[in-house]
A and B are shown apart, each in its own frame.
Chain A
Amino acid sequence: MTGEDLAHAFEGFRDQLKSYLLRMTASVEDTEDLLQETFVKAYNGLSGFKGDASLKTWVFAIASNLARDLLRAQKRWPEHVTDICKEAAMNNQAFFQEAMQIRHTSPQGNFEIKEHIAFCFTCVSRSLPLEQQLTLFLKEVYDFRVKEIATILDQTEAMIKYYLHTARKKMIQVFDHRCSLINKEGVCHQCTELNGIFNPKQKAQEEVVKIQMARDAESKSKEELFDLRMKILQELDPFQSPAAALQLHHLEHNRKVMQGYVKKNSS
């Protein structure tokens, strides 16, 4: 394997790796840094690649380690992160002005409910312990097998199974309680509320029924609804979708709010 081979192969999964890093760090800046650092580390350590796992698995292991080094020092977010950030946004006129500007001027300034579902999951999943969050994304969104995730995270397959199962159960429980798209008693309506703000001419209910997870809410099990939620994330690239600019702006806002929140609540 030469450096040129690596560069060629890297391009093949670069977008996936970049979206994985964004969903772990919730920061565009950290994502760009980690992506570059991952490539440099892989390039310099190419002699260490023995081919026991695929090159993609090996590179994701490097990226995951770098992300872990960064994220271990950061506090995890609470389950009700979106409530905290909503309150902060309501008191921040500049946030909505900037968002409206993006909505009206950016080619990636659309607001779509399914994009917000993916964004919301990125935020809420940061309430999981770090290893569980990494495992959940690698398996459910980036389609790695348990054995490959064990290699990526340098854990036993047994522990990966434990992380995966526990993370799934936890997220199913959190979203069943919170998300009004899958539970009429759900306390969070942010996606439809924001749709009303950014797409005032649309009828939220008509938009909601376009989403399979919401359409099937009453007929499918909680496990199946979770799988449908994961399918939304699988199908979206947070950097390239028509709503990317708006959602990244929203994510940056939440990251900053949570940075302040965890600092305040841990001191």
Chain B
Amino acid sequence: MRTLSFILLLMNLTTANAQLTSAKTVKRGFHQVTSVAIEISADPAIVWALLTNASDFSRWNSTIVSLEGDIEVGEKIRLKSTLDEKRTFKIKVKALTPEQAMTWGDGQGTRWFRITETEKGVHFEMEEKIGGLMYPMYKKYLPPFEENFNQWVLDLKREAEKISSTN
């Protein structure tokens, strides 16, 4: 029984990874851009609900320690990530188009979330641009983001698809 469960888990992980366009970071002189994409078999409303319920984030997203505040345009949210648990990022919600797109940002960077409805559910993209005039000075202190980004979208996919399969 345990062997079967393990095989099923492995199959699920393999399928999920096949639908993932792994995160990549492109570095330029004064900025870097990390992007990732994934196919999710769920209604855009479910993905959107997960992305806009701040207090629920840490339950399903293993890369987030806590997220406080209201995810509404103009509001500031306070994010603690597993990338640096001691630091609280104060981020502004800059733009929202329900079930389609959202933009967060602070002085150093901007993160975009994009949802495109597909035949089987949604194509989800997440992109973050970090930079500015000081970027060359601090870029060596930035941790690699790829693994974190991959996990972020895999968690979103797992949770959205689990909700979608509710009877």
Which B residues are CB-close (under 8 A) to A169? 59
CA distance A145 to B167 in the complex (A): 8
Which B residues are CB-close (under 8 A) to A166? 49, 53, 56, 163
Q: Does B83 contact A (CB under 8 A)?
A: no
Which A residues are CB-close (under 8 A) to B45? 156, 158-159, 162
CA distance A181 to B72 in the complex (A): 39
A110 to chain B, nearest CB (A): 37
Known: A159-B45, A162-B50, A165-B162. 15 other contacts (CB 8 A): A156-B43, A156-B45, A158-B43, A158-B45, A158-B46, A159-B46, A161-B46, A161-B166, A162-B45, A162-B46, A164-B166, A165-B163, A166-B56, A166-B163, A169-B59
Please give me the residue from chain B that is nearest to A160 by CB atom: B166
Q: Does A101 contact B (CB under 8 A)?
A: no
B112 to chain A, nearest CB (A): 23
Give B contacts to A, CB under 8 Å: 42-43, 45-46, 49-50, 53, 56, 59, 162-164, 166-167
CB-CB contacts of A146-174 with B at 8 A, as 1s and 0s?
Answer: 10000000001011011011100110010
CA distance A196 to B53 in the complex (A): 41
Query: Residues of A within 8 Å of B, CB-based: how many?
Result: 13
Which B residues are CB-close (under 8 A) to A165? 162-163, 166
Query: A159–B166 contact, CB under 8 A?
Result: no
A234 to chain B, nearest CB (A): 17
Query: Known: A156-B43, A156-B45. Contact between A161 and B59, CB under 8 A?
Result: no
Which A residues are CB-close (under 8 A) to B162? 165
Please give me the residue from chain B that is nearest to A139 by CB atom: B166
Which B residues are CB-close (under 8 A) to A164? 166
Give A contacts to B, CB under 8 Å: 145-146, 156, 158-159, 161-162, 164-166, 169-170, 173
A167 to chain B, nearest CB (A): 10
Choice from A146, A158, A173 contacting B167 with Cβ under 8 Å: A146
Please give me the residue from chain A that is nearest to B164 by CB atom: A161
Which B residues are CB-close (under 8 A) to A170? 56, 59
Which A residues are CB-close (under 8 A) to B166? 146, 161, 164-165
Which B residues are CB-close (under 8 A) to A162? 45-46, 49-50, 163
B31 to chain A, nearest CB (A): 35
A105 to chain B, nearest CB (A): 45
CA distance A156 to B48 in the complex (A): 13
Listed A/B pairs (16) with beta-carbon separation below 8 Å: A146-B166, A156-B43, A158-B45, A158-B46, A159-B46, A159-B49, A161-B163, A161-B164, A161-B166, A162-B45, A162-B50, A162-B163, A166-B163, A169-B59, A170-B56, A173-B59
CA distance A65 to B42 in the complex (A): 28
Q: In the complex, which of the residues B53, B162, B166 has the most CB atoms of chain A within 10 Å of its own CB atom?
A: B166
Which B residues are CB-close (under 8 A) to A173? 59
Q: In the complex, which of the residues A158, A166, A169 has the most CB atoms of chain B within 10 Å of its own CB atom?
A: A158
CA distance A156 to B163 in the complex (A): 13
CA distance A162 to B50 in the complex (A): 8
Which 6 residue pairs of A and B lie closest in terms of their CB atoms, listed nearest first?
A158-B43, A158-B45, A161-B166, A165-B163, A162-B49, A158-B46
Which A residues are CB-close (under 8 A) to B50? 162
Q: In the complex, which of the residues B43, B56, B163, B164 has the most CB atoms of chain A within 10 Å of its own CB atom?
A: B163
A188 to chain B, nearest CB (A): 21
